[in-house]
């Protein structure tokens, strides 16, 4: 797992890349691919690069987003393949203490048996991408103040989004190169998604956290969904009577797989890279944010693991949060290790010095860019002034989905009161209401006040320890905290307060929670719900922070595009923008890597490794039926999925493609655009490539389509799905 | 580390091998090498294979034994190179809490600064090997009883040894192929050995226990001794006035090293392999001996680590024992894992079944060998009857060097009383007296009653729990133990007894301890020393066990040679005998290996790996001066020791040669017989090759001569030794 994009947000992306394209770096916009024809040719590509620029053609028309994960259609009847770890939410939604689909897996033998992924599940099919830079940023008075600049851009984005969505699609105005470019992306949003097949955890998550981000890897990280639409063929919420969606494009599965050195493409929705942050931004990440995240995540994991021991129901409820915390923890550790060991701070400093010299060397450039770095640094310094408070403030809401739900209801009531939709805050416009409601419905399965309680207590401990000039005043008043309290004193106050806050939280009741979404601010306030009271107490600081953010975003909108222009001008050549959760194509080759001195990671793993790693317990517990199938294979049972190169069924493989969180579930394609695997992870050593691409060591990890097909045929009895995909 | 031979004994070897020579299997007797000319040729050898059969020629004349380790002369002035871990005893002998040579390393700038390795240190130079099978086993009445057979062979061995040693050499009559063959080996025994140079622990033991038996490896496992003799050129005990020994042969160092695929030879003294134990013997090892050793060693390590925390002096005293325990523990774990995972028991069962069928298929064979397997199994079953008691009995003496010293003195007094040297037990003859004394002198530096106490208490706990029919009666009487005591009761009795036994042990005093070696049995008994009293109480069981062993050895002498004959006859072809601590030659090539699915171990490691692994603490703490030298190299400093193949200074390398414990320090030679490295370890995965050779995965680990030379030149300032070796 683990290229899921947990920070997936419909937001303005601030950073972008001008790294000259080296090795296989580049999460390319589809329309850039034809310009890379020469490079593709030298890598052995014989097809037409233009095919990748055609978003509705083959194969790009088959590539979809699940919002945080990527996926692809693999049959004319809306069958979708993605990663197993992208199906955890859906499996959890359908699990009970008696029947744990996460552990046992799931297979629908008929369409009727396919189970809803729950409200909020989505399949997004990109229909068009249009350059709207001029419409968003053109003709703004350069002397306007930052807050006004923010509002102008914000309003233009909202207006364009509304106009675009009038046609029934879901639209997004996405920023590229730090606001240097804007693109309008229109997507079909399918809303009735059902789970068709997921292997047992002993296959889909074989190796667990131990193997996460590691190689050699033996994870069968796949699952199958199906997209359903109304009888009229249009997207509709879940309904028994819906029918399978018939995509115009679906991928052909290539059962022959790949061999070492083969060219591969990966198409998907990478979340975010930061390859051109400024030195001061990377410095904060390296010296403050990541170390703090690592410390607090470790402690939260410990807290939740302790809590999970209290019962199976708690265990299921905590599972998804634990998996998310663990994944991010490993990621941040890897990033930090990479940043420190790779000396990225020093490199960044040198690059920035070069850029400054390059600007200073020419009067025209000095005039155009001379102030940019200083101003960006000043903005960074400003955010750092209150970062201790701000990170704890955010932690309160992430600790408690109940508190977060109360805030959502409160903010929604405030925004709903506005007569004009365009005046509403982003995320609270009419277009968002349904999603907000679905998220609150979906939340029910994982909600447990006991989880909120332990994590809120943990977060409030930090709030108690904040310095006098950075207090969260509203919280202090509610809880009775004061600077200088001893740990015992504050701990006692927090316990007493939490007893009151979470004794019988009404928000844990779905009907009550959903009813709040329909109430006015006055009605909500009048409820005197302790969680709402806390939200109201915290609101002044929330508002203050939002105002500050908007002003800063206005300033970034003034500065970042010029910074990027300077970088682009200095770099020259074709450059892939930083990832921003929009559709991208990356290509490279199947290739092992020298991982450490004396150690070579071979490009393929095989079934033999499952036999080697299997212990029969914990994270290395392959299902008996898989072990039997391997035994049968060893005894001479014929299968078309044995690779000549490795003389076994290949399981996972490495390639040089450039991916990041959000790419999880992306189809891996051969030169003919046929499905040969699924992207699902990157190697730990090169996580820091999100900040500075490592041209030698970066590797992505894919599950081999031959393992998928072999398991479906020989282990899980999913022959009907093989037939549906045209594989016999 | 770790191919030291800790079970090094001048004893009859019981087991031998008839595995058909596959891959690079074979610890060949030097005289067998010419018969392998064809194989050597196909491997690219262009020299004369007969060179390896000439024990006093080049290069074999330069290869020596240190008794437990191997080594070689590398200068005409007696300079010897071996492993760092073979110098631990010498370094420890010369260390104090103030000056820890183990940690800091040592370099004598002049001959005067070279320090004695202490009494008991030896260099043994093999002078001749003679087939004496007929003299030892010929003409014995087949109907003689087993005990008498033992005595006959024992007496013949003693007589021949005495005759051989009359010439001033050290002689050994060694058994090959389980007594099917005997060879008389005559060695020059040099007694004044001094330490010349050992790198710091951060080089010589870089990676410590963590990396022990592992790859990739970055250990600089070398040290240098010098052999001294009397002014007359003859071996003499340590004396200031002794002069460097001038060997007739010494190895030429080849600074160019090796590349992948190159042919390598290793000459040395491998201790022991068990490739042709019977099924029931391997079964006991797998199901009883190894699991017990693993459990008790782990517990003893824990006990000693706890004790070590009490002070630096205790830490130094426990260090060598801890190192030995850890090394054996890792070895046994690897063996057991290999035995179990490799399904060796089942393979053994099948092979034995085949042998039985082969014997049964022919009346002549039935007559000759028909009873052998059954009889060997019966002997095995007999030893198992009292194994619980016997292993605890042995553990008492290994737990306490003080108790062991008391026993040595007591047994020596008994044997000395015999008028005829030939009647004395092996190990207590005149030829052994000096060694016994030296061992007792040498012991002083590591002796600490507190160490004995904790390990004796641990051993006695087992004695307390023995079943009623396997009690150590003498111990029961001394300590006051009875079957069926609760743990609390026996623990209390043991504590009280140990208080008395080890309160002020006189045996910890060197003069007193040595004085016992001169006393008669009556005098020793009259001392009423508590440790001696315990020895006397234990003596009846000691005698009983010795008698039983002699009888069994007589039986094995009757059976094992026929078993081996059957195996040899069935296998046919040229076969290397099992290792028995005699001089052997093995050859193979420099080669990496697929260690696990998806993982390839490259054949060479480099300085880059030291930079990667260095943490600045614990087992991964490279000296500053080495890190600076690497920095200088990276900055462009020239050195002849960079390998083109790996573009760095190679550190360690893998080869397919067949080695085992005792091979530690063996010179690794290229096809011209030049020194290109030192053998020091094998990979964990293939430790079980001692029982059944793994033709695919077995690898030995060598330190590359280029790392040794680079370190001497650039890190440790040992230029004078480079000059002495003819390297500039």
CB distance B667 to B62 below 8 Å: yes
Residues of chain B contacting residue A602, judged by C-beta atoms under 8 Å apart: 594, 598-600
Residues of chain B contacting residue A601, judged by C-beta atoms under 8 Å apart: 598-600
Residues of chain B contacting residue A215, judged by C-beta atoms under 8 Å apart: 598
- Among chain A residues, the shortest Cα distance to B597 is held by A609
Burial class from Cβ neighbours inside 10 Å (0-12, 13-18, 19+) for residue A320 reads middle
Which residue stretches of B342-448 are H helix? 344-360, 363-369, 372-385, 387-399, 401-416, 430-443
Q: Residue B209: which residues within 8 A CB-CB, separation 6 or more?
A: B326, B330, B619
For residue A628, how many other CB atoms are within 10 A of its CB?
12
| 3-class SS of residue A188 | strand
CB distance A161 to A154 below 8 Å: no
Residues of chain A contacting residue B592, judged by C-beta atoms under 8 Å apart: 600
Please check the confidence at residue A628 and state whether its pLDDT lies above 50: yes
Tally DSSP H helices, then E strands, for chain B. Answer: 26, 20
CA–CA gap between residue B715 and residue A501 (Å, rounded): 66
Verify whether the Cβ–Cβ distance B217 to A598 is below 8 Å: yes
Q: How many CA atoms lie within 13 A of B668 on its CB side?
A: 34
Q: Among A216, A594, A598, whose Cβ lies nearest the Cβ of B598?
A: A216
Phi-psi category of B582—alpha, beta or left, where left has phi over 0 and alpha has psi -120 to 50?
beta
Q: What is the dihedral of CA A153, A158, A164, A170, to 10 degrees?
A: 120
Q: Residue B539: which residues within 8 A CB-CB, separation 6 or more?
A: B410, B474
| Pairing relationship of beta strands A79-82 and B263-268 according to DSSP bridges | unpaired
CB crowding B403-425: b at 16 or more within 10 Å, else e: bbbbbbbbbbbbbbeeeeeeebb
Residues of chain B contacting residue A216, judged by C-beta atoms under 8 Å apart: 596-599
Burial class from Cβ neighbours inside 10 Å (0-12, 13-18, 19+) for residue A287 reads middle
Say what the pLDDT of residue A658 is: 94
CA–CA gap between residue B340 and residue B346 (Å, rounded): 9
A interface with B, Cβ–Cβ below 8 Å: 215-218, 592, 594, 596-602, 604-606, 608-609, 612, 652
Distance from CA of B70 to the nearest CA of A (A): 26
Q: Among B596, B597, B609, whose Cβ lies nearest the Cβ of A598?
A: B609
Please check the confidence at residue A179 and state whether its pLDDT lies above 60: yes
The CA–CA distances, whole Å, from B204 to A156, A371, B91, B222 equal: 69, 56, 12, 6
H or E segment to which residue A26 belongs: none
Please check the confidence at residue A430 and state whether its pLDDT lies above 80: yes
Verify whether the Cβ–Cβ distance B612 to A596 is below 8 Å: yes
CB distance B201 to B105 below 8 Å: yes
CB distance A248 to A558 below 8 Å: no
CB distance A13 to A580 below 8 Å: yes
The CA–CA distances, whole Å, from B28 to A213, B35, B424 equal: 46, 10, 34
CB distance A185 to A131 below 8 Å: no
CB distance A69 to A662 below 8 Å: yes
Residues of chain B contacting residue A652, judged by C-beta atoms under 8 Å apart: 598
Stated length of chain B: 728
pLDDT in tens, A556-609: 999 999 999 998 898 877 888 999 999 999 999 999 999 999 999 999 999 999
CB distance B533 to B124 below 8 Å: no
Q: Residue B2: which residues within 8 A CB-CB, separation 6 or more?
A: B85, B212, B213, B327, B330, B331, B661, B664, B680, B681, B682
CB crowding B209-221: b at 16 or more within 10 Å, else e: bebbbbbbbbbbb
- Among chain A residues, the shortest Cα distance to B607 is held by A597
Verify whether the Cβ–Cβ distance B596 to A602 is below 8 Å: no
Q: Among B597, B601, B612, whose Cβ lies nearest the Cβ of A605?
A: B597
Say what the pLDDT of residue A3 is: 62
Verify whether the Cβ–Cβ distance A605 to B598 is below 8 Å: yes
A221 counts as catalytic: yes
Verify whether the Cβ–Cβ distance B598 to A596 is below 8 Å: no
- Among chain B residues, the shortest Cα distance to A592 is held by B598
Verify whether the Cβ–Cβ distance B602 to A594 is below 8 Å: yes
Distance from CA of B331 to the nearest CA of A (A): 20
Residues of chain A contacting residue B600, judged by C-beta atoms under 8 Å apart: 592, 599-602
Which of A17, A24, A85, A150 is catalytic? The answer is A85
pLDDT in tens, B258-277: 999 999 999 999 999 998 88
Sign of CA dihedral B293, B298, B303, B305: positive
Using the structure block, give the residue that is written with the tokens 């052994």.
Answer: B432
A664 counts as catalytic: yes
Residues of chain A contacting residue B609, judged by C-beta atoms under 8 Å apart: 596-598
A509 counts as catalytic: no
The CA–CA distances, whole Å, from A11 to A271, B235, B627 equal: 11, 85, 47
Verify whether the Cβ–Cβ distance B608 to A600 is below 8 Å: no
| 3-class SS of residue A58 | coil
Confidence of residue B2 (pLDDT cuts 50, 70, 90): low
Sign of CA dihedral A653, A659, A663, A669: negative
**Cross-strand partners of A653:** A604, A702
B interface with A, Cβ–Cβ below 8 Å: 215-218, 592, 594, 596-602, 604-606, 608-609, 612, 652
Please check the confidence at residue B22 and state whether its pLDDT lies above 70: no
Return phi, psi of residue A189, to 5°.
Answer: -115, 100
Beta strands in A549-666 (DSSP E): 584-589, 593-596, 599-601, 604-606, 650-655
Nearest by Cα to B316 from B36, B103, B560: B103
Choose from A598, A601, A630, A702 for mutation: most chain B CBs within 10 A. Answer: A598
Please check the confidence at residue B15 and state whether its pLDDT lies above 90: no
What average pLDDT does this structure show over B627-632? 98
Question: Prior bond to B59 cis, omega within 30?
Answer: yes
Confidence of residue B19 (pLDDT cuts 50, 70, 90): very low
Using the structure block, give the residue that is written with the tokens 């009423």.
Answer: B528
Say what the pLDDT of residue A16 is: 31
CB distance B225 to B195 below 8 Å: yes
Residues of chain B contacting residue A605, judged by C-beta atoms under 8 Å apart: 597-598
Say what the pLDDT of residue B9 is: 29
Q: Among B598, B608, B612, whose Cβ lies nearest the Cβ of A215?
A: B598
CB distance A396 to A475 below 8 Å: yes
Q: Residue A618: which residues within 8 A CB-CB, separation 6 or more?
A: A208
Q: Among A597, A601, A652, whose Cβ lies nearest the Cβ of B599?
A: A601
Distance from CA of A189 to the nearest CA of B (A): 40
pLDDT in tens, B180-211: 999 999 999 999 999 999 999 999 999 998 99
Please check the confidence at residue B310 and state whether its pLDDT lies above 70: yes
Say what the pLDDT of residue A2 is: 56
DSSP secondary structure, B173-186, as one string:
EEEEGGGTEEEEEE
Question: Prior bond to A261 cis, omega within 30?
Answer: no
pLDDT in tens, B132-171: 999 999 999 989 999 999 999 999 999 999 999 998 999 9
Please check the confidence at residue B54 and state whether its pLDDT lies above 50: yes
| 3-class SS of residue A177 | helix
- Kindly state the percentage of chain B with pLDDT values over 70: 97
Nearest by Cα to A339 from A299, A291, A371: A291
- Kindly state the percentage of chain A with pLDDT values over 90: 83
Sign of CA dihedral B382, B388, B390, B395: positive
Burial class from Cβ neighbours inside 10 Å (0-12, 13-18, 19+) for residue A264 reads buried
What average pLDDT does this structure show over B626-634? 97
Which of A404, A413, A664, A666 is catalytic? The answer is A664
Distance from CA of B590 to the nearest CA of A (A): 13
CA–CA gap between residue B84 and residue A462 (Å, rounded): 52
Residues of chain A contacting residue B608, judged by C-beta atoms under 8 Å apart: 597
Average of per-residue pLDDT values in chain B: 93
CA–CA gap between residue B672 and residue B506 (Å, rounded): 55
Residue A140 structure tokens:
């703004």
CA–CA gap between residue B513 and residue B286 (Å, rounded): 39
CA–CA gap between residue A593 and residue A697 (Å, rounded): 7
Residues of chain A contacting residue B216, judged by C-beta atoms under 8 Å apart: 596-599
Average of per-residue pLDDT values in chain A: 93
Which of B24, B75, B84, B85 is catalytic? The answer is B85
- Rounded to 10 deg, the angle between the A344-360 and A312-341 helix axes is 50
Q: Residue B686: which residues within 8 A CB-CB, separation 6 or more?
A: B338, B694, B697, B698, B699
Q: How many CB pairs under 8 A join A and B?
A: 58
Confidence of residue A18 (pLDDT cuts 50, 70, 90): very low
Verify whether the Cβ–Cβ distance B600 to A601 is below 8 Å: yes
Say what the pLDDT of residue A323 is: 83
Q: Please state the pTM of the whole predicted model.
A: 0.84
Which residue stretches of B143-289 are H helix? 146-165, 201-204, 208-211, 279-284
Verify whether the Cβ–Cβ distance B600 to A597 is below 8 Å: no
Say what the pLDDT of residue B428 is: 97
| 3-class SS of residue B674 | coil
- Among chain A residues, the shortest Cα distance to B654 is held by A598
CA–CA gap between residue A559 and residue B175 (Å, rounded): 86
What average pLDDT does this structure show over B402-423? 97
Verify whether the Cβ–Cβ distance B598 to A612 is below 8 Å: no
Confidence of residue A11 (pLDDT cuts 50, 70, 90): very low
pLDDT in tens, A66-113: 999 999 999 999 999 999 999 998 998 898 888 999 999 999 999 999
Question: Prior bond to B216 cis, omega within 30?
Answer: yes
Verify whether the Cβ–Cβ distance B606 to A598 is below 8 Å: yes
Which of A24, A146, A221, A448 is catalytic? The answer is A221
CB crowding A462-472: b at 16 or more within 10 Å, else e: bbbebeeebbb
Please check the confidence at residue A728 and state whether its pLDDT lies above 90: no
Which of B221, B621, B694, B716 is catalytic? The answer is B221
């Amino acid at each position: 797992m683990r290229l899921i994009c947990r920070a997936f947000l419909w937001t303005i992306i601030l950073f972008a890349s001008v790294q000259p394209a080296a090795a296989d770096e580049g999460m390319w916009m589809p329309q850039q691919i034809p310009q890379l024809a020469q490079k593709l040719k030298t890598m052995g590509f014989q097809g037409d690069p233009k095919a990748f620029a055609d978003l509705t053609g083959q194969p790009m028309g088959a590539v979809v987003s699940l919002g945080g994960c990527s996926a692809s259609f693999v049959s004319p009847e809306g069958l979708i393949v993605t990663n197993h770890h992208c199906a955890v939410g859906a499996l959890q939604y359908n699990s009970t203490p008696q029947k744990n689909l996460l552990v046992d897996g799931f297979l629908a033998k008929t369409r009727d048996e396919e189970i809803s992924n729950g409200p909020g599940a989505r399949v997004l099919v990109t229909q068009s991408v249009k350059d709207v830079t001029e419409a968003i940023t053109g003709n703004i008075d350069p002397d306007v103040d930052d807050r006004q600049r923010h509002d102008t851009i914000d309003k233009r984005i909202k207006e364009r989004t509304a106009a675009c969505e009038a046609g029934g699609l879901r639209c997004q105005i996405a920023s590229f190169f730090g606001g240097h470019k804007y693109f309008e992306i229109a997507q079909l949003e399918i809303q009735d998604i059902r789970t068709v097949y997921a292997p047992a955890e002993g296959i889909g998550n074989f190796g667990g956290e131990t193997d996460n981000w590691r190689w050699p890897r033996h994870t069968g990280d796949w699952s199958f969904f199906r997209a359903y639409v109304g009888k009229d063929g249009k997207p509709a919420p879940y309904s028994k009577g819906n029918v399978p969606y018939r995509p115009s494009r679906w991928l052909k599965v290539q059962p022959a797989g790949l061999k070492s050195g083969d060219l591969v493409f990966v198409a998907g929705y990478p979340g975010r890279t930061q390859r051109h942050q400024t030195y001061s931004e990377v410095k904060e990440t390296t010296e403050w944010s990541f170390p703090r995240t690592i410390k607090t995540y470790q402690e939260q994991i410990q807290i939740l693991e302790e809590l999970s021991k209290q019962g199976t129901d708690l265990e299921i409820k905590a599972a998804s949060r634990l998996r998310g915390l663990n994944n991010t923890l490993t990621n941040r550790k890897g990033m930090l290790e990479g940043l420190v060991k790779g000396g990225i701070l020093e490199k960044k400093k040198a690059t920035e010095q070069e850029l400054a010299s390059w600007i200073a060397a020419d009067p025209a450039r000095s005039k155009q860019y001379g102030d940019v770095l200083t101003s960006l640094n000043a903005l960074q310094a400003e955010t750092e002034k209150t970062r201790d408070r701000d990170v704890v403030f955010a932690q309160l809401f992430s600790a408690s989905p109940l508190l977060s739900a109360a805030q959502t209801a409160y903010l929604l009531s405030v925004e709903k009161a506005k007569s004009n939709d365009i005046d509403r805050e982003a995320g609270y416009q009419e277009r968002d209401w349904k999603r907000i409601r679905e998220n609150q419905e979906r939340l029910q399965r994982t909600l447990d006040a006991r989880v909120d309680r332990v994590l809120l207590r943990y977060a409030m401990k930090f709030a108690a320890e904040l310095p006098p000039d950075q207090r969260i005043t509203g919280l202090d008043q509610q809880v009775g905290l004061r600077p200088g309290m001893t740990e015992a004193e504050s701990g006692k106050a927090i316990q007493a307060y939490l007893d009151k806050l979470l004794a019988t939280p009404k928000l844990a009741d779905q009907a009550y929670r959903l009813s709040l979404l329909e109430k006015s601010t006055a009605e909500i306030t009048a409820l005197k719900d302790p969680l709402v009271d806390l939200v109201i107490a915290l609101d002044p600081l929330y508002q203050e922070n939002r105002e500050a953010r908007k002003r800063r975003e206005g300033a970034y909108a003034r500065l970042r595009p010029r910074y990027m222009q300077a970088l682009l001008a200095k770099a020259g050549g074709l450059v892939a923008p930083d990832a921003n959760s929009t559709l991208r194509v990356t290509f490279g080759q199947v290739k092992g890597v020298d991982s450490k001195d004396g150690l070579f990671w071979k490009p393929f793993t095989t079934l033999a490794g499952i036999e080697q790693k299997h212990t029969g317990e914990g994270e290395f517990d392959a299902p008996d039926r898989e072990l039997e199938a391997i035994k049968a294979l060893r005894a001479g049972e014929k299968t078309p999925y044995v690779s000549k190169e490795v003389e076994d069924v290949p399981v996972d493989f490495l390639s040089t493609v450039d991916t990041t969180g959000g790419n999880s579930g992306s189809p891996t394609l051969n030169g003919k655009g046929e499905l040969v695997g699924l992207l699902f992870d990157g190697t730990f050593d090169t996580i820091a490539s999100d900040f500075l691409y490592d041209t030698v060591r970066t590797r992505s990890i894919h599950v081999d389509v031959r393992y998928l097909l072999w398991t479906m045929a020989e282990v899980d009895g999913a022959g009907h799905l093989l037939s549906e995909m045209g594989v016999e």
